[in-house]
Amino acid sequence: MSITTREEEQVNLTNECIHLLDGLNDGLLWVNKFGDIVQVNAAFVRMTGYEKADIEQKKVFLYFREISMLSWELYWRKMKEGDKPEAEGRVVDKAGILKPVHIKFNGISSKRDLACLVVQDVAYNISDSQRLKRVSYEYDRLMYRTSHDLKAPISTILGLVELVKRDATSNQRECLSLIEKTIRKQNALMGDINHLAFIESSRVVLDRVDIEALTKSIISGCLIDNPKGSQIEWELDFNTKIPFTSDENLLSKALSPLIKNAIEYKRENAPDCRISIHVLITEQTLTFNIEDNGIGIYEDLHKKIFDMFYRGTERSTGSGLGLYVSLITTYKLKGHVELVESSEGKTVFQLVVPNKFCVRSKAISHEL
């Protein structure tokens, strides 16, 4: 639909106003409900490399890769309702290059029935906090896409290994088992990366948790992954009479690396390998104390063990993400995890998270 004379008259700004708007670093566009660009300032012209005449009276969809006719109708509706949505997008310049921009839909003028779009060049105009937010978003997306795209071939390889095993000789089965073990490690790594990519934005789902059952389930899973655990004497002490509420999935993610490490770093050929897990639930907190009599951690490494990808010993066969995952996940639950004590023959980790039972109960009573 073409621009009407009345609309052109409504945006006939004075020379002084036009001069001020053209001096801005942010691109400005006035767009009607049909997506027609009525007027732009000089900053948007510089941003795209087009002449004003090439942009005005054209559709907004031609210049923004993320804005379609349907999405423009949705943005228009939101602005009509008083919202001021924002979006990350890309502007197509005259050379066909996509430039990342931040778009602010500043609402609709009641007199003109036009929306004003503020377009900020990401490279120059956004604040440090916005830039950091964008980099963080892109980093999370990269981690997610990487882990997601690698999971499919890993699953395919595992399926093929199982298929070939059926007709393999004993020597071939041994090689296939090593391949399978390596692939399963990579699969676990992809799972950790995917978890980290979305831990910040994930929602904490509160529910009653059977701590004893959860702990024993984690131990069983760790023993399957690491046969070394079959030589360990386990001491489990559960003081769990008080109900406990939290996010069971996140709690499992936080606890598993601590138990896995206790198994992995036991003393070789020691006759008395032990792991003790003491659990205490109060109305305020859940506390895990996990103690082992393994090889220990050198004192000069204590401050580094929670770093991403840090491996403190040559015996480590993992990715170095385990304790980092535990730390970040515990923070998500508003708790903390720390190395309480470590020397040769004794290592104690403590994990503490809030008990949300009272909070959850109050929320339910309000709903009722």
Task: Give tens-digit pLDDT for 17-29.
Answer: 666 677 778 899 9
Asked if 154 contacts 187 with a C-beta cutoff of 8 angstroms, the reply is yes
- pLDDT higher for 177 or 84? 84
The residue type found at 211 is I
Cβ atoms of residues 207 and 244 within 8 Å = no
CA-wise closest residue to 291 among 232, 335, 240, 218: 232
Whether the predicted model's global pTM rises above the 0.75 cut: no
Q: CA distances (Å), 216 to each of 31, 222, 255, 299, 333, in order? A: 61, 10, 11, 30, 21
Task: Give the CA radius of gyration of the chain.
Answer: 29
Domain residue ranges in the chain: 5-126, 130-198, 207-362
Q: What average pLDDT is seen over the chain?
A: 80
Q: What is the pLDDT of residue 246?
A: 94
More confident residue, 137 or 325: 325
By the 8 A CB rule, do 235 and 274 touch?
A: yes
Side-chain-side CA neighbours of 354 within 13 Å: the count stands at 12
Q: How far apart are CA 180 and CA 160, in angstroms?
A: 10
Q: Which residue has the higher pLDDT, 96 or 126?
A: 96
Task: Identify the architecture of domain 130-198 in CATH.
Answer: Orthogonal Bundle (1.10)
Single out the residue of 273, 270, 313 nearest to residue 292, CA to CA. Answer: 273
CA 314 vs. chain centroid, Å, equals: 30
The percent of residues in the chain predicted with pLDDT above 90, rounded, is 24
pLDDT computed for residue 250 by the predictor: 93
H helices of 5-127, in order, are 5-10, 15-22, 42-48, 52-55, 69-80
Superfamily for the 5-126 domain:
PAS domain (3.30.450.20)
Place of tokens 């109050």: 362
DSSP string of 242-289? S--EE-HHHHHHHHHHHHHHHHHTPPTT-TT-EEEEEEEE-SSEEEEE
Q: Where are the beta strands (DSSP E) in 52-208?
A: 86-92, 98-108, 115-121, 207-208
Residue 236 has pLDDT above 90, yes or no: yes
Q: Average pLDDT, stretch 120-145?
A: 61
pLDDT of residue 366: 41
pLDDT score of 184 = 76
pLDDT higher than 60, residue 326: yes
Which residues, other chains included, contact 151 with Cβ-Cβ below 8 Å and sequence gap of 6+? 187, 190, 194
Contact at 8 Å (CB) between 222 and 256? yes
Query: pLDDT tens digits for 160-218?
Result: 888 888 888 878 888 888 887 777 777 777 777 777 767 777 788 999 999 999 999 99
Rounded mean pLDDT of 318-322? 71
Q: Which fold has domain 207-362?
A: Heat Shock Protein 90 (3.30.565)
Residue identified by tokens 């004075």 is 14
Q: Is the dihedral of CA 212, 213, 218, 219 positive or negative?
A: positive
Distance CA 263, CA 273 (A): 9
Cα–Cα distance, 257 to 290 (Å, whole number): 11
Taking the mean position of all CA atoms in its chain, how far away is CA 201? Answer: 6
